[in-house]
A and B are shown apart, each in its own frame.
Chain A
Amino acid sequence: MGNRLEGRVALITGSGRGIGRGIAQLMAEEGAAVIVNDFGGNLDGSGGEQTPAQEVVDGIKAAGGRASANYGDVSKFEDARAMVQQAVDEYGRLDILCHVAGILRDRMVFNMTEEEWDAVLAVHLKGAFNTVRHAVEPMIRQRYGRILVFSSGSGLGSSGQANYSAAKEGMVGFARSLARELGPYGIAVNAIYPGGATRMTASVPSASRELRARAGITSGGAPRAPQQNFSDIDAAIGTPRDPGNNAPPVTWLCSEAGGVISGQVIGTSGWQASRYSPRQAIRSISSPRRWSVEDLQDVVPNQLTVGVNNPAPMVQPKES
């Protein structure tokens, strides 16, 4: 129990379960009043039940904290407005926004439907815009705010997740741009690469991950811990895959002291905290005149991309 967030008000989307829940609980312990938003939907975005958010609120209150439930859908602009309004109406301000809510609709790109694309971008990326757009209004008035959008290492490339990679890396660009735009108003903005065994990760069959690994398709992110088949998510409690592990670095970034970090991508999974480099120019070729294609046919493979790995080399089809 601490007082690092005493007098602060936090809105945590997707905090009825998983990673969001652990953050809501720790922020409440640190003194914040928390709006626990959870649509309570199924992982594919359908349905809706009010229980998960209310259970988290009840737990926070039982421990002596302040919290209220919100059942809005982050993909809806007006629902996001209502979440922010609820924070201001009930607790007088909004200091912290964590957009954690997410869904998965994995599919190889050539089979992906428009509905699968739209649904994933709506919750993750549009949800980030919807919540940030409304949250910046009280934050700019206060000249204070802490915003974290929960991205994913899958934004660095992950076979079968074209929609999720687009949404998640889009959130990184959004956060880096906002950090500079909102810095003068005392608002820090970062993107998080979280981790942990949750309903969401459990929904990706480990068999399909193993299949891709065997085919030599490498992901762009940091090496992942070996996939364990947590048929029961409770089995992850107390291990590096415990979703609660994300809460201390996330809560710290949302404290006043956390303002020293803004515009960064921070990894919070497991028993570690990491800072990721942005993509940066590591090699270059230069010409005082426009390149010809013929010159590039020589210079690019022999200089610019020499030694660079193909993350998914061609597999020769078997003769049938």
Chain B
Amino acid sequence: MGALDGRSVVVTGGGRGIGRAIALLAAAEGASVVVADTGAEADGTGANPAIADAVVEQIKASGGNAVATHSDVSLLEGGEEPIKAALEAFGKIDGLVNAAGIRRDTPIWEMTEEDWDVVIRGNVKAQFVPSKFASIAMRQNRYGRIVSLINDAGLGAVGASNFAAAGEGALGFNRTLARDLGRYGVTANAISPLARTRMFGGYSEDLRPPAGVLSANDVARIGRPTPMFQWEDTGHPDDPESVAPLAVYLLSEGAGDINGQCFGVRGGDIYLYSNPTIDRQILSYGRRFTMDEMDEQMPRTLALGVPSPVEAAHHH
């Protein structure tokens, strides 16, 4: 018995990296899989249909059921193809994994308009388009599971402000997707993974910033993941295969109560993220603040406990 027996699942970006690992595990757990991948480079350029085809062949060779699509899911025209393929080949769509993504890291002062547009379209609109088409069918069927990959650059990575905007943008989209679709029996959850792929070539140990500077992991209060010291498995904890079990679990029927959440995966460590909440607040009674009140209150309330990068630089 597989967790996804009889299910039909679309995986965008299923040709390589984390998407591929999810597609393979979903198939091993019994799902029929649409592997949707243009085969583009990590910066979004180029195309190679052989990338998706190879994953389909691998699934079939293991006795599974799979078809490939090669269209660009970040455009409405052509973006419906993976969903149509699932409906035509497997008769329905139960799950969608938005794993397609690209990045073009560059400092803001060198970033071109194209660097921005391509990254926002390739990471955020590329989740809207398949989700829109999938949600039409899932809503009619009163059943669906959507899992989307985001990133933690938006917690404070340097030199990737486009990718940071894309990651939090995709998360904001997913929070609303969950609220638009939950009542129809459709869930939407996000995973912020860290794995060694084309999009992130290093190991998670490399992410440590200089002392005294908060990394994205520090902001997320993740710190150094424990498996780095204790890992007993074959392979490295940063292998993309480490992300797949959580994604496949969230695609399963039993995960139906989990909706609108964000998870982090670092090897064998799986995190649940909070939703942002107010952690400090000052109040004025019966009227707006005066500027004198701001001068007096802001430095000793809202500024406390969150080191400002401006001040840190100033004191060096």
Tell me whether B306 and A276 are in contact (CB under 8 A). no
Which residues of chain A have C-beta atoms less than 8 A from B116's C-beta? Answer: 126, 129, 133
Q: How far is the CA of A304 from the CA of B113 in the complex (A)?
A: 41
Which residues of chain B have C-beta atoms less than 8 A from A161's C-beta? Answer: 176
Q: How far is the CA of A309 from the CA of B287 in the complex (A)?
A: 35
B197 within 8 A of A: no
Contact with B along A197-240 (1 / 0, CB 8 A): 00000000000000010011111101000000000000000000
Q: How far is the CA of A244 from the CA of B287 in the complex (A)?
A: 11
In-complex Cβ contact of B180 among A162, A249, A317 (8 A):
A162
Tell me whether A262 and B310 are in contact (CB under 8 A). yes
Tell me whether A317 and B261 are in contact (CB under 8 A). no
A119 within 8 A of B: no
Which residues of chain B have C-beta atoms less than 8 A from A157's C-beta? Answer: 172, 175-176, 178-179, 260, 275
**Given A110-B139, A170-B120, are A305 and B272 also a contact pair (CB < 8 Å)?**
yes
Tell me whether B284 and A183 are in contact (CB under 8 A). no
Nearest-CB distance from B298 to chain A (Å)?
Answer: 6
Tell me whether A183 and B132 are in contact (CB under 8 A). no
Which residues of chain B have C-beta atoms less than 8 A from A310's C-beta? Answer: 182, 187, 257-260
B93 within 8 A of A: no
In-complex Cβ contact of A169 among B171, B233, B273 (8 A):
B171
Interface-located stretch among B10-18, B56-64, B217-225:
B217-225
Which residues of chain B have C-beta atoms less than 8 A from A187's C-beta? Answer: 310
A61 within 8 A of B: no
Nearest-CB distance from A74 to chain B (Å)?
Answer: 13
Q: Please, which residue of chain B has its CB at the minimum distance from the CB of A172?
A: B168
Interface size of B by CB at 8 A reads 124
B49 within 8 A of A: no
**Given A157-B175, A169-B171, A297-B252, are A288 and B306 also a contact pair (CB < 8 Å)?**
no
Nearest-CB distance from B263 to chain A (Å)?
Answer: 8
In-complex Cβ contact of A279 among B125, B158, B162, B275 (8 A):
B275
Q: Please, which residue of chain A has its CB at the minimum distance from the CB of B109?
A: A136
Which residues of chain B have C-beta atoms less than 8 A from A4's C-beta? Answer: 291, 295
Chain A CB within 10 Å, residue with most, of B233, B262, B270, B280: B270
Tell me whether A283 and B272 are in contact (CB under 8 A). yes
Which residues of chain A have C-beta atoms less than 8 A from B136's C-beta? Answer: 110
Which chain A residues in 155-190 approach chain B with CB under 8 Å? 155-163, 165-174, 176-188
Which residues of chain B have C-beta atoms less than 8 A from A140's C-beta? Answer: 109
Nearest-CB distance from A288 to chain B (Å)?
Answer: 4
A-B contact count (CB 8 A): 415
A65 within 8 A of B: no
B135 within 8 A of A: yes
Contact with A along B292-308 (1 / 0, CB 8 A): 01110011001100101
Which residues of chain B have C-beta atoms less than 8 A from A179's C-beta? Answer: 156, 308-309
Q: Please, which residue of chain A has its CB at the minimum distance from the CB of B292?
A: A2
Q: How far is the CA of A261 from the CA of B295 in the complex (A)?
A: 13
Tell me whether A260 and B290 are in contact (CB under 8 A). no
Interface residues on A, range: 35 or more
Tell me whether B283 and A271 are in contact (CB under 8 A). yes
In-complex Cβ contact of A290 among B135, B221, B233 (8 A):
B233
Tell me whether A297 and B249 are in contact (CB under 8 A). yes
Which residues of chain A have C-beta atoms less than 8 A from B302's C-beta? Answer: 261, 264, 266, 273-275
Which residues of chain B have C-beta atoms less than 8 A from A212's C-beta? Answer: 179
**Given A181-B159, A181-B161, are A281 and B179 also a contact pair (CB < 8 Å)?**
no
Which chain B residues in 204-261 approach chain A with CB under 8 Å? 213-214, 219-222, 226-227, 230-233, 235, 241-242, 245-246, 248-249, 252, 254-261
**Given A273-B282, A280-B219, are A180 and B289 also a contact pair (CB < 8 Å)?**
no
**Given A293-B252, A308-B261, are A109 and B135 also a contact pair (CB < 8 Å)?**
yes
**Given A173-B168, A313-B182, are A297 and B3 also a contact pair (CB < 8 Å)?**
yes
Contact with B along A134-163 (1 / 0, CB 8 A): 001100100000000000001111111111
- In the A-B complex, list the 5 residue pairs whose CB atoms are closest, starting with the nearest: A173-B154, A183-B309, A169-B172, A312-B182, A170-B169
Sampled A-B contacts (6; CB under 8 Å): A271-B288, A285-B269, A291-B245, A296-B249, A308-B258, A310-B257
Known: A156-B172, A177-B153, A179-B309. 9 other contacts (CB 8 A): A177-B157, A261-B302, A262-B308, A263-B306, A264-B302, A279-B262, A287-B269, A296-B246, A311-B175
